[in-house]
Structure 1
């Protein structure tokens, strides 16, 4: 267990990443494509942000929006993106691949985790679509992921609160369960009290645009102390 819970901010532009760093976030998850829940940012953007950040930088590896079953070509693109972005000294990758039956694609996920080594990987909210959460948890651990980002298989963390608590207990410190999805300063204390998770994820967007709110990042972090 970490002494104080930590905060990751999902950032969809360079401005958000700098806001996250300046106002107390512990980590940035960099994406583009906010309308589809996040896709792989371009190499030059990642390079630019890496040069500006001293906090950890995780990067989304997702070639498109929509479902999490990928063609051979898309899977090859994910591999190529990981190889390219490893050169930039980033701190983590974020991805997740399912099969048509909503189970974990163990073979493809493990290939990407192995390709990313020694950089740690987070399995993203594709987890919220799986049929069996606890079997999937074991498969994700076996693939070598270090973190699962999840709303507790619900539309948001408040609705998924019970499942999030169950997942933290089931994980038993073998993997980090990171609540995210509708997480804001107004509910993070309740989420932490109930789940006792060590890491939390929010976009900190409060006004409908694509940029994190400085006051929201501060408020989120302050309530985790």
Structure 2
């Protein structure tokens, strides 16, 4: 069974995603900036508004690059500790060195603070210099999954690399395919790459703005289940 994760930034979207069959959500704020850590109020409301879905909370203090200062690491540690008592909550982390390597010195204390909660390494992975070496590092650190498009573009464009990463990672780490994943292309992507999980923003315009679409979540769910 292929798991479906929906990226969103609102309570209504979380309710819609759960009701339409999503397995998990990634909860963010400021998606126009690429996503940053949501507020305590938002995380609290989403946990209370849902009953089943896993909730991966993005831990990122700002937009821009993924090279973090000691002050930014301290902020991220506080955010993780603030959210760690919530049920069904895991974390989405990142951290790179200026040379484009996984920053182990940043990630180790963050992972320790997660205290065994499931951890996804974000699409910062698509900025690393050597994805296979990065996968080895992340698997060794105990990261559960990597969100990647196989490169900086769409998952469809990076499908050959995604397939290679799935094979290389094996049982050590899960590859979560993301990047312009949609209901018309998800079945082919899963069949070709053998990814176990897919990630998308299932958006449609409603009421003058983009909202999580129950129809799109259901269509993705049906496509991967078929």
TM over 0.5: yes
Q: In the alignment, which of 15, 18, 43 is matched to residue 21 of structure 1?
A: 18
Note if 1:63 corresponds to 2:42. Answer: no
Q: Secondary structure at the match of 2:47?
A: helix
User: Secondary structure at 2:91's aligned position in 1?
Assistant: strand
Question: Structure 2 residue aligned with 1:150, among 148, 151, 165?
Answer: 148
Could you report, residue by residue, the CA deviation over 1:38-71 in whole angstroms, capped at 9, with x for unpaired residues? Answer: 1100001100110111121110000111100011
Measured after TM superposition, the shift of residue 210 of structure 1 is 4.2
Task: Give me the CA root mean square deviation.
Answer: 1.2
TM-score for the superposition, normalised by structure 1:
0.96
Runs of 4+ in 1 over 6 A off after TM superposition: none
For the pair 1:214 / 2:214, whether they are aligned, the reply is yes
Distance 1:128 1:148 in 2: 10
Partner of 1:45: 42
Q: Specify the alignment match of 1:128 in structure 2.
A: 126
1:30 matched to which residue of 2? Answer: 27
Question: What is the alpha-carbon distance in structure 2 between the residues aligned to residue 160 and residue 181 of structure 1?
Answer: 9
Q: Which ranges of structure 2 fall in alignment gaps of 5 or more residues?
A: none
Asked whether the equivalents of residues 168 and 177 of structure 1 are also in contact (C-alpha less than 8 Å), the reply is yes
Q: Could you report, residue by residue, the CA deviation over 1:88-130 in whole angstroms, capped at 9, with x for unpaired residues? A: 2242100110000110001211221121012110001000000
CA distance in 2: counterparts of 1:201 and 1:173, whole angstroms: 19
Moved more, 201-210 or 131-140: 201-210
TM-score, normalised via structure 2 length:
0.95
Q: Does the alignment pair 1:111 with 2:116?
A: no
Number of residue pairs matched?
A: 222
**Structure with the larger strand share:** 2
Q: Deviations over 1:123-168 (max 9, x none)?
A: 0100000010100100111111000000101311111111000000
Is the 1:28–1:57 contact (alpha carbons within 8 Å) kept by the matching residues of 2?
A: yes
CA contact (8 A) 1:12 1:211 kept: no
Q: CA, structure 1 residues 90+210, in 2 after alignment: closer, same or farther (shift >3 Å)?
A: farther
8 Å Cα contact 2:204/2:210 also seen in 1: no
* Counterpart residue number, 1:183: 181
Gaps in structure 1 of 5+ consecutive residues: none
